[in-house]
A and B are shown apart, each in its own frame.
Chain A
Amino acid sequence: MAKFLFKRALALIAILFVVSIGTFFLIHLLPGDPTVTILGPNDTAHNKAVLLQQLGLNKPIWQQYWIWLGNVLTGNLGQSFITHATVTSTLAHAVPIDIELVIISQVLALGIAIPLAIASARRPNGLLDRVSTTSSFAMLALPPFIIIVFLVLIFSIHFHVFPGPGSYVPFTQNPWSNLHTMILPAIVLAVGSIVIYFRLLRGDLISTLQEEYITMARSKGLSDRYIMWRHALRPSSLSLLAAAGLNIGGLIAGAFVVEYLLAIPGLGYALVNSIQQVDYLTVQGITLFVAVVVVVLNFIIDFLFTILDPRIARE
């Protein structure tokens, strides 16, 4: 197993290396001249040359990459030409908001998906099962932006239950109104997760309930409820954990639209803003950060699974 994990760790480093090259060249090969962005289009050629020298942009691109990588590894992602904030401080402001959003949405999603899947799996093809499977199929076809528009229409404009876009309050300022503003975006993110968790768990439970050890438990006279929670749900919790891990990686990238539309100043909001301001370094920093988080998260899930289920390492 140690050998297996070592191999995986090597692969992780290789992937992170490629991701860093990808992020660096993604930004550098795109059109746009940073000297024009900083100095404006009408400055002299001499001033531009001096600036290129200062920024190190006159060096060969591979040399620039190694300098950049060295800086990144020491935690220096650069300083924005536009806002003059360091990219690290932008990340430090945005990331806690995303973490809060992911936690609330996942609590909502699991809180709804697990009981619903259990109730549906108890009577496959029953009324509840038909209604919930059909509506989960419909929810797959509901893009987050459409959900946002109609949730805002119903809950903010019509019934004034939740505040509309742009009313974000920092948690440190007022935890209660902060939670109040985070519920709408969390619901939007939860919808996609509910569909994934519900379908996975329902299918899993239905096949588990046909296993012989369940029949055995039934014949011992154990109650349905006890069998469901203690015998059937347990093996399914592993696959649910895997799905949740992969899904959370996707959520961080997927929260962009939701954050931008509801003006929640998380990573997505920061990214879209910096794209609009042609703020290369911030775009680069956020892209790299998200890519690394997704890659590392997948690695951790892999790692946990190898420990929980040693059969994986032998394959």
Chain B
Amino acid sequence: MSDIAATVASAAPEAADDDGIVKKKKVGVFFWIFAGWVALVVLASILAPLLGLQDPNNANFDAINQGPTTAHLLGTDDLGRDILSRVIYGARVSLIVGFGAMTIGMIFGGTLGMVAAYRRGAVDSFVSAVSYVMLAFPALVAVIAIVAFWGHDIWKITIIVGIASIPLVYRVVRAATLSYATREFVTAAKSQGATDIRILTRELLPNVLPAIISFFLIGVASVIILEGALAFLGLSVQPPTASWGNMISESRTYLSQNPWLALFPSLAMFLFLIALNLIGDSLRQVLDVQDSKL
């Protein structure tokens, strides 16, 4: 993964030059472009009611299936609803499910992973065994079945996907913590009488944070894809509520008359996903201490 980001982000982080001098790592220009895009999407979706957009659910039968015009910058759908407004409001669903589910996964899986890696012993063996079994179960099948029978409102989806992500988060955080848990600075802190909580939050957390943040962002991207897949199966938020997945799914009916309908929400989702992946990748490279020859 590292070499790809290096290619995409033009200014590849240099670990050390020929003289062995550690240079300050930099992120490329693409990093800032995509970070700006993520910030724009997040801000626009939060501030959507203040942007003077048209009502995303307001039908207008005088202007249906239009391409981009000055009145509707991204065109209108089969009910004459403004696509720009629906893309912006639709981002809310992806953002809530994506960030919400990964936050749930991080709170439970992350805490468990750090504690298990720090304490080892019976707790670690037990939780690790449980996580292996849970990972063996095809999560997508379980998520589809539970969402289908339990209900598909946005909060239920967030919780289900969040819980489904716990074992994977656990394994990643545990592995990241494990490489620091036996290092000298932890032993030093212990010998000074630091409490377990202090060691976990002040000594270990800052070290594993880079790996966690980058995994978090890439995880958000995967959850957004999953939410889109659920929308296509009719198992995400129900119409007329706009979501990127819903919009792309509904666009299939009018694909031959109005391809714009499919294009804009797909583009929004694609650019957002590529941005999350790229930011996650670049951050890991820049923040990873082990990569530089310290």
Contacts and interface: CB of A to CB of B under 8 A. Distances in A.
Nearest to A252: B138
A122 interface: no
A77 to B, nearest CB: 15
A56 B249 CA distance: 41
Interface in A144-196: 144-146, 149-150, 152-153, 157
B145 A253 contact: no
A137 B5 contact: yes
Interface string A249-265: 10011101100110000
A136 to B, nearest CB: 7
Given A157-B255, A287-B142, A291-B141, A146 B270 contact: yes
A26 interface: yes
B233 A272 contact: yes
Given A19-B137, A153-B262, A157-B255, A143 B8 contact: no
B37 interface: no
A261 B278 CA distance: 29
A271 B232 contact: no
Contacts of B245: 145
- A30, A134, A199 — which one has the most chain B CB atoms within 10 A of its CB? A30
Contact of B221 (A133, A141, A150, A256): A141
Contact of A145 (B5, B248, B256): B248
Query: What size tier do the contact residues of chain B reach?
Result: 35 or more
B269 A146 contact: yes
Interface string A266-287: 0000011001101000010011
A133 B4 contact: yes
A97 interface: no
A136 B273 CA distance: 13
B7 A133 contact: yes
Interface string B27-57: 0000000000000000000000000000000
A290 B234 CA distance: 21
B135 to A, nearest CB: 10
DSSP class of B's interface residues: helix, strand, loop or mixed?
A: helix
B136 A298 contact: yes
B1 interface: yes
A145 B248 CA distance: 8
A294 B149 CA distance: 23
Contacts of B262: 149-150, 153
A275 B133 contact: no
Contacts of A138: 274
A281 B147 CA distance: 17
Interface string A99-143: 000000000000000000000000001000110011011101111
A144 B146 contact: no
A145 B249 contact: yes
B292 interface: no
A161 B256 CA distance: 15
A252 B133 CA distance: 19
B113 interface: no
Nearest to B12: A125
B286 interface: no
Interface in B60-80: none
A214 B142 CA distance: 47
Interface of B: 1, 3-5, 7-8, 132-133, 136-142, 144-146, 148-150, 221, 225, 228-229, 232-235, 245, 248-249, 251-252, 255-256, 259, 262, 266, 269-270, 273-274, 277-278
Give the 10 A-B CB pairs with smallest separation, nearest first. Answer: A141-B273, A141-B274, A30-B149, A275-B148, A253-B138, A143-B225, A253-B140, A137-B4, A146-B266, A257-B229
18 contacts: A19-B136, A19-B137, A22-B137, A22-B142, A26-B146, A27-B145, A31-B149, A125-B7, A134-B7, A143-B273, A145-B232, A146-B228, A153-B256, A256-B141, A261-B232, A283-B145, A291-B137, A294-B136
